[in-house]
């Protein structure tokens, strides 16, 4: 099925067809000049993993590796391996395959809720009310609204501090909202502020998210991303995601290729 409008519903993009036990396939595809958006395949993978655990368990961490560029116009098949089901935790491995090649893999851990101390050591760094901020054109993202303050660095392309929410109807299934959050975590970059004209990003290597709470992701969430280090051709940033009440809902870490631009050939 082809849907060229990038504003089509994220809820439709996240739908998966069950092929067999632990085997799922995407159903919503569209033409695009870019490779498959990493946040999309991560969101679909967490939903595939969630179909194999009991309803009393919700995802608390996801570790992703992006291996090859995918094609958004073609189906992706997700293989879910059931590694462990314990008294409180379940662990799943997911590989995403397209045209017979693995384009992505991840591990997802699920936890049955237990009562315990609830402490928060990091606080949000607010950027203002959504109505006072400028719209950021998310371009290739679907059913997303993003807001950001004015940027100081003209070389920046991705925001490092932004508000975002899903505009599609995700219903009341926590897994859909967890997937919506995963979709958004790949939308900005903590390395954008240290980019120069000589240095460019090539692709994400790995992306890790710890989900502390699963929010209603159709409401505004604040993303604060910060650089940690670049070297050896790689760059690392970490970030915190907060709900409207200032509660930490997720912690993010991403490593990506961070290399000098190739010199342009002489005209």
Does position 104 have pLDDT exceeding 60, yes or no?
Answer: yes
pTM (2 decimals)? Answer: 0.92
Does position 19 have pLDDT exceeding 70, yes or no?
Answer: yes
pLDDT tens digits for 23-78? 999 999 999 888 999 999 999 999 999 999 999 999 999 999 999 999 999 999 99
Quote the DSSP letter at residue 230.
E
pLDDT tens digits for 125-173? 999 999 999 999 877 899 999 999 987 766 567 889 999 999 999 999 9
Q: How far apart are CA 163 and CA 18, in angstroms?
A: 34
Tell which CATH classification among 3.40.50.10490, 1.10.260.40, 3.40.50.300, 2.40.160.210 matches the domain 10-112+130-260: 2.40.160.210
pLDDT attached to residue 240 = 98
CA of 175: how far to CAs of 45, 106, 138, 158, 251, in Å?
Answer: 11, 17, 23, 27, 17
Average pLDDT, rounded, for the chain? 91
pLDDT attached to residue 154 = 60
How confident is residue 123, by pLDDT bands cut at 50, 70 and 90?
A: very high
Percentage with pLDDT > 70 across the chain: 92
pLDDT attached to residue 202 = 64
Torsion of CA 72, 74, 75, 79, to 10 degrees: -80
- Tell me if 196 sits within 8 A of 157, measured CB to CB: no
Does position 185 have pLDDT exceeding 50, yes or no?
Answer: yes
Contacts of residue 180, defined as CB under 8 A and 6 or more positions apart, other chains included, come to 10, 14, 43, 166, 170, 217, 218
End-to-end CA distance of the chain: 42
Does position 260 have pLDDT exceeding 90, yes or no?
Answer: no
Identify the three-state secondary structure at position 184: helix
**Domain ranges for the chain:** 10-112+130-260
How confident is residue 176, by pLDDT bands cut at 50, 70 and 90?
A: very high
pLDDT attached to residue 1 = 38
pLDDT attached to residue 267 = 42
Query: Quick one: average pLDDT of 13-26?
Result: 97
121 burial class (0-12, 13-18, 19+ CB within 10 angstroms)? exposed
pLDDT attached to residue 10 = 95
Query: Quick one: average pLDDT of 198-206?
Result: 78
Does position 217 have pLDDT exceeding 60, yes or no?
Answer: yes
pLDDT attached to residue 201 = 67
Residue 205 structure tokens: 């290597």
């Amino acid at each position: 099925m082809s849907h060229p409008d990038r504003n089509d519903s994220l809820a439709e993009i996240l739908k998966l067809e069950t092929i067999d036990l632990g085997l799922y396939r995407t159903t919503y595809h569209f033409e695009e000049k870019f490779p498959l958006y990493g946040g999309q395949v991560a969101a679909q993978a967490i939903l595939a993993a969630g179909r194999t655990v009991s309803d009393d368990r919700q995802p608390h961490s996801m570790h992703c590796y992006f291996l090859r560029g995918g094609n958004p116009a073609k189906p992706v098949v997700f293989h879910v391996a059931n590694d462990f089901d314990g008294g409180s935790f379940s662990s799943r491995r997911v590989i995403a395959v397209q045209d017979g090649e693995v384009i992505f893999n991840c591990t997802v851990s699920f936890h049955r809720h237990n009562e315990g101390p609830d402490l928060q050591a990091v606080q949000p760094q607010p950027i203002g009310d959504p109505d006072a901020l400028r719209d950021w054109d998310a371009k290739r993202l679907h059913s997303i609204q993003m807001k950001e303050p004015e940027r100081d660095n003209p070389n920046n392309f991705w925001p490092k501090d932004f508000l975002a929410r899903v505009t599609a109807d995700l219903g009341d299934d926590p897994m859909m909202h967890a997937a919506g959050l995963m979709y958004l975590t790949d939308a900005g970059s903590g390395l954008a502020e240290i980019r120069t004209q000589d240095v460019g990003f090539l692709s994400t290597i790995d992306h890790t998210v710890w989900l502390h709470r699963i929010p209603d992701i159709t409401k505004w969430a604040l993303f604060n991303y910060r650089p940690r280090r670049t070297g050896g051709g790689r760059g690392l940033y970490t970030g915190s995601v907060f709900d409207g009440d200032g509660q930490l809902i997720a912690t993010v870490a991403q490593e990506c290729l961070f290399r000098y631009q190739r010199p342009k050939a002489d005209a």
